[in-house]
Protein backbone atom coordinates (compact mmCIF):
# COMPACT_ATOMS: atom_id res chain seq x y z
CA UNK A 1 0.00 0.00 0.00
CA UNK A 2 1.12 3.55 -0.69
CA UNK A 3 1.52 5.62 2.47
CA UNK A 4 0.79 9.34 2.30
CA UNK A 5 2.47 11.59 4.86
CA UNK A 6 1.47 15.21 5.28
CA UNK A 7 3.39 17.93 7.04
CA UNK A 8 2.85 19.81 9.16
CA UNK A 9 0.02 18.14 11.08
CA UNK A 10 -1.18 21.56 12.11
CA UNK A 11 -0.27 25.13 11.30
CA UNK A 12 -1.32 28.50 12.66
CA UNK A 13 -1.48 31.43 10.27
CA UNK A 14 -3.08 34.83 9.81
CA UNK A 15 -5.41 36.20 7.18
CA UNK A 16 -3.30 37.26 4.21
CA UNK A 17 -0.47 34.82 4.92
CA UNK A 18 0.93 32.40 2.36
CA UNK A 19 0.73 28.80 3.53
CA UNK A 20 2.27 25.65 2.09
CA UNK A 21 1.33 22.09 3.02
CA UNK A 22 3.46 19.15 1.94
CA UNK A 23 2.45 15.60 1.08
CA UNK A 24 4.92 12.79 0.49
CA UNK A 25 4.08 9.41 -1.05
CA UNK A 26 5.94 6.26 -0.01
CA UNK A 27 6.46 5.43 -3.69
CA UNK A 28 6.11 7.27 -6.95
CA UNK A 29 2.56 8.15 -7.98
CA UNK A 30 3.28 10.35 -11.02
CA UNK A 31 0.63 13.10 -10.83
CA UNK A 32 -2.14 10.95 -9.38
CA UNK A 33 -2.74 13.20 -6.41
CA UNK A 34 -5.71 15.20 -5.14
CA UNK A 35 -6.17 17.75 -2.37
CA UNK A 36 -9.33 18.26 -0.33
CA UNK A 37 -10.58 20.84 2.17
CA UNK A 38 -12.86 19.78 5.01
CA UNK A 39 -14.67 22.01 7.47
CA UNK A 40 -16.13 20.67 10.73
CA UNK A 41 -19.31 18.67 10.23
CA UNK A 42 -19.08 18.93 6.45
CA UNK A 43 -18.08 16.62 3.62
CA UNK A 44 -14.66 17.11 2.03
CA UNK A 45 -14.40 19.36 -1.01
CA UNK A 46 -12.09 18.67 -3.94
CA UNK A 47 -9.62 21.52 -4.49
CA UNK A 48 -6.87 20.14 -6.73
CA UNK A 49 -6.65 17.02 -8.90
CA UNK A 50 -3.89 15.64 -11.06
CA UNK A 51 -1.47 17.29 -8.62
CA UNK A 52 -1.88 20.76 -10.13
CA UNK A 53 -5.29 21.16 -11.82
CA UNK A 54 -7.70 23.49 -10.08
CA UNK A 55 -11.19 22.09 -9.62
CA UNK A 56 -13.95 24.21 -11.13
CA UNK A 57 -15.19 26.89 -8.76
CA UNK A 58 -12.16 26.79 -6.46
CA UNK A 59 -10.48 30.18 -5.95
CA UNK A 60 -7.21 30.74 -7.76
CA UNK A 61 -5.35 31.42 -4.50
CA UNK A 62 -5.18 27.62 -4.18
CA UNK A 63 -2.49 25.89 -6.21
CA UNK A 64 -0.84 22.49 -6.29
CA UNK A 65 2.51 21.28 -7.54
CA UNK A 66 4.77 18.25 -7.59
CA UNK A 67 5.05 14.83 -9.15
CA UNK A 68 6.51 11.48 -8.23
CA UNK A 69 6.66 11.42 -4.44
CA UNK A 70 6.65 15.05 -3.29
CA UNK A 71 3.69 17.41 -3.57
CA UNK A 72 2.64 20.76 -2.19
CA UNK A 73 -0.60 22.67 -1.71
CA UNK A 74 -0.17 26.42 -1.49
CA UNK A 75 -2.69 29.03 -0.43
CA UNK A 76 -1.31 32.33 -1.63
CA UNK A 77 -3.25 34.71 0.61
CA UNK A 78 -5.31 33.15 3.38
CA UNK A 79 -8.93 34.16 3.68
CA UNK A 80 -11.12 33.61 6.76
CA UNK A 81 -13.02 30.81 5.02
CA UNK A 82 -9.80 28.85 4.38
CA UNK A 83 -9.35 27.78 8.00
CA UNK A 84 -10.09 24.07 7.78
CA UNK A 85 -8.41 20.67 7.57
CA UNK A 86 -6.67 19.68 4.34
CA UNK A 87 -6.05 16.15 3.07
CA UNK A 88 -4.02 14.75 0.22
CA UNK A 89 -5.07 11.53 -1.53
CA UNK A 90 -3.24 9.27 -3.93
CA UNK A 91 -5.19 7.91 -6.89
CA UNK A 92 -2.36 5.93 -8.46
CA UNK A 93 -3.44 2.49 -7.28
CA UNK A 94 -5.80 0.65 -4.97
CA UNK A 95 -6.08 0.80 -2.05
CA UNK A 96 -6.65 4.53 -2.32
CA UNK A 97 -5.00 6.25 0.62
CA UNK A 98 -5.24 9.66 2.26
CA UNK A 99 -2.75 11.67 4.23
CA UNK A 100 -3.48 12.12 7.92
CA UNK A 101 -4.61 15.70 7.44
CA UNK A 102 -3.27 19.18 8.15
CA UNK A 103 -5.30 21.43 10.41
CA UNK A 104 -5.01 25.10 9.45
CA UNK A 105 -5.83 27.32 12.40
CA UNK A 106 -6.16 31.03 12.92
CA UNK A 107 -3.19 32.66 14.65
Q: Residues, the chain, total?
A: 107
3-state SS class at 51: coil
Stretch that binds other proteins, among 11-19, 61-69, 75-83, 87-95 (CB under 8 A): 87-95
How many C-beta atoms lie closer than 10 Å to residue 6's C-beta? 20
Least distance in angstroms from the C-beta of 79 to other proteins: 22
Terminal-residue alpha carbon distance, the chain: 36
Residues between 18 and 77 that touch other proteins (CB under 8 A): 32, 34, 36, 38, 43-46, 49, 55
List 78, 82, 99, 104, residue binding other proteins (CB under 8 A): 99
Amino acid sequence: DIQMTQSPSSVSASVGDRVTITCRASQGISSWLAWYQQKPGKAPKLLIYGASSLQSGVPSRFSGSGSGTDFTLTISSLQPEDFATYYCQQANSFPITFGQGTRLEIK
